[in-house]
Chain A
Amino acid sequence: MKTLHIWRREFGAYFRSAFGFVVLAAFLLLSGYFFYSDLLFFFLWGGQSLHRGLWDHAFLDMRLVLLLVVPLITMRLFAEERKLGTMELLWTYPVTDRQIVAGKFLASFSFLLLMLTPTALYPQVVALLCPLSPGPLIAAYLGIVLLGTAFIACGMAASSITESQVLSAVLTYAVLVLSWFLTWNEAIASEPVMRGLLYLSLFDRFYGFVSGVIDTSDIAFFLVFIGFFLFLTLRVLESRSWRGVW
């Protein structure tokens, strides 16, 4: 129940200033623009299966927009509380660290879903023009939600270690962009190492979903990734017991 109250406060905080509206608008503007470009490309130039190719492109572009936007959503989660000192009070209420982490995580997750919901209009636009196969679309949406949630978990962990929101966002960008680019250059590592990197790459794990394939090992990978960063956040919160300050 207390998780729900924390969720409500945190989710409400996005909209008590213009921040939430601006981020939401920016996400929709960018993803809408990308979708429009992809749609034009397929109708004007065609050449590939629209059912597969269009969603492939549209969701890979949406991934890029999420990469830009999610660190902005998560940067304030703990950094702001740290700066204001509000965590000290929260810790004196009968609430556990897990409830705090869960409430904040779910608030960002809800914001992610809120951002993605209007994009459900895109397939409906396509459905007006030609028949639509829902299978690949469901896989792609599952993938983008898992990827966005993984970004959130990573961003929340970054937010828990600093009181600067800017630093928190930069740190999240650094971790996520590095994990993306690391698999780009095969010359930087030997083949077995590169295979390992590919295995651990968030972005390479995402390709299966946009191709319309739901692989349980990919789902498990995302869940482990998310669980790891939630665990890390909890450990950072608990560090107050030996650091004294937080």
Chain B
Amino acid sequence: MIRAEHLSKVLSGVRAVDDVSFLIRRGEVVGFLGPNGAGKTTTLRMLAGVFPPSSGRAAIGGHDVVADALGARRHLGYLPERISLYLDMTVRSYLEYVAAMKEVARRLRPGAVDIVMQQCGVTTVARRSIGTLSKGYRQRIGLAQALIGDPEALLLDEPTAGLDPEQVAEIRALVRRLASTRAVLFSSHALGEVQVTCDRVIILSRGKILAEDAPAALAERLRTMTSITVEAEGPVDAIACAVSSVDGVRTVHRLTGSTGRIVRLRVETEPGRDLRPDLVRAVIDAGFTLLDLHADALSLEDAFLALIGRQTERP
């Protein structure tokens, strides 16, 4: 439904998006994660037809976004990162205008507008001028315009930004409901949100896809590479030194909660190796008392940061 093949975009000499490929099927919600400047918005804009890719191709509902731009846009609902609405129009007249632009038949327009207003909870402000409404309402109107015309593909750029927790929960539930018959790609900074809402996560950094998997699988896959908590009794420097000497340890951090001679350390290890036995031996051989040692379960946030961190460390 939403297909990107080797998508790249060069803006002002900088490769903002670099060889990005993915496929999102009907019924799937895919989260687009990445730090600021990762290329999320640029990718979404190319998919939405705002501007064409420098190379590669993208298609919405089987229609190429460049060769058959209008065909692709007929299957598309897009919510931009910076929600932009005509502030001088009333909510209803604005949505009716959007319905006309999206080729909803004249006699179906009032009904189509009523449905999206109800879905997005803006019916009570239908006659108000958009300029007088709060950011939360404007965000919902933005989502409502994306839903008009019942598009099969939804591209939502940070749809819950600026909403209060209750509204965030509503929008998440709405996105889940909508996804049953649509392909949804939505970008977010909120990792928890992606974890709860999405079937799959695409992590983007510096324009490239770093990882793509289900949130739980992603965290699981990265589990082997990350951290082990060590609690031991003795001088902090000596214990840290003993732990650091183990082959495969990358970093050692002292954790808060260390009291007196009891030291808690977080040890980050190389991927694909279980260093727990080596660490147990290292602490005991150095003559200290080992109180606790366990591998930390990784949240998606940890996985995300670990991935981004790895990317940053590359020369």
Contacts and interface: CB of A to CB of B under 8 A. Distances in A.
Interface of A: 2, 5-6, 9, 13, 16-17, 84-86, 88-96, 240-241, 243-245
B142 to A, nearest CB: 8
Interface stretch (B74-82, B246-254, B257-265, B275-283): B74-82
B98 A240 contact: no
A10 to B, nearest CB: 10
A47 B87 CA distance: 55
21 contacts: A2-B103, A6-B101, A9-B97, A16-B88, A17-B88, A84-B85, A85-B80, A85-B82, A85-B84, A88-B80, A91-B49, A92-B48, A92-B73, A92-B76, A93-B73, A95-B73, A240-B50, A241-B51, A241-B52, A244-B9, A244-B51
B8 interface: no
A58 to B, nearest CB: 35
Counting contact residues on chain B (CB < 8 A from A), the size range is 20 to 34
B85 A92 contact: no
B100 interface: yes
Contacts, number: 72
Contacts of B9: 244
B102 A84 contact: no
Contact of A5 (B48, B50, B86, B100): B100
Contacts of A9: 86, 89, 97
Contacts of B89: 9, 16
Interface string B35-49: 000000010010011
A240 B101 contact: no
A13 B101 CA distance: 17
B5 to A, nearest CB: 19
Contact of A93 (B42, B84, B87, B101): B101
B16 A244 contact: yes
B12 interface: yes
A96 B70 contact: yes
B102 A93 contact: yes
A243 B11 contact: yes
Given A5-B101, A96-B70, 15 more contacts: A2-B103, A13-B88, A84-B87, A85-B80, A85-B84, A89-B84, A91-B50, A92-B49, A92-B50, A94-B73, A94-B103, A95-B70, A95-B101, A240-B51, A243-B12
B15 to A, nearest CB: 12
Given A2-B100, A94-B101, A244-B51, A88 B84 contact: yes
Nearest to A15: B88
Interface string B105-124: 00000000000000000000
B145 interface: yes
Contact of A244 (B42, B84, B100, B103): B42
Interface of B: 9, 11-12, 16, 42, 45, 48-52, 70-71, 73-74, 76, 78, 80, 82, 84-89, 97-98, 100-103, 145
Contacts of B88: 13, 16-17
A56 to B, nearest CB: 41
B12 A89 contact: no
A86 B98 CA distance: 12
A28 to B, nearest CB: 24
A165 to B, nearest CB: 14
B42 A89 contact: no
A5 B89 CA distance: 14
A9 B94 CA distance: 9
A84 B82 CA distance: 9
Nearest to A85: B84
Given A92-B48, A95-B101, A244 B12 contact: yes
A16 to B, nearest CB: 4
Contacts of B71: 94
A88 B85 contact: no
Contacts of B52: 241
B28 to A, nearest CB: 21
A93 B71 CA distance: 10
Nearest to B148: A93
Nearest to B16: A244
B145 A89 contact: yes
Contacts of B45: 88
B85 A86 contact: yes
A243 B14 CA distance: 11
A65 B192 CA distance: 60
A163 to B, nearest CB: 12
B248 to A, nearest CB: 43
Nearest to A82: B84
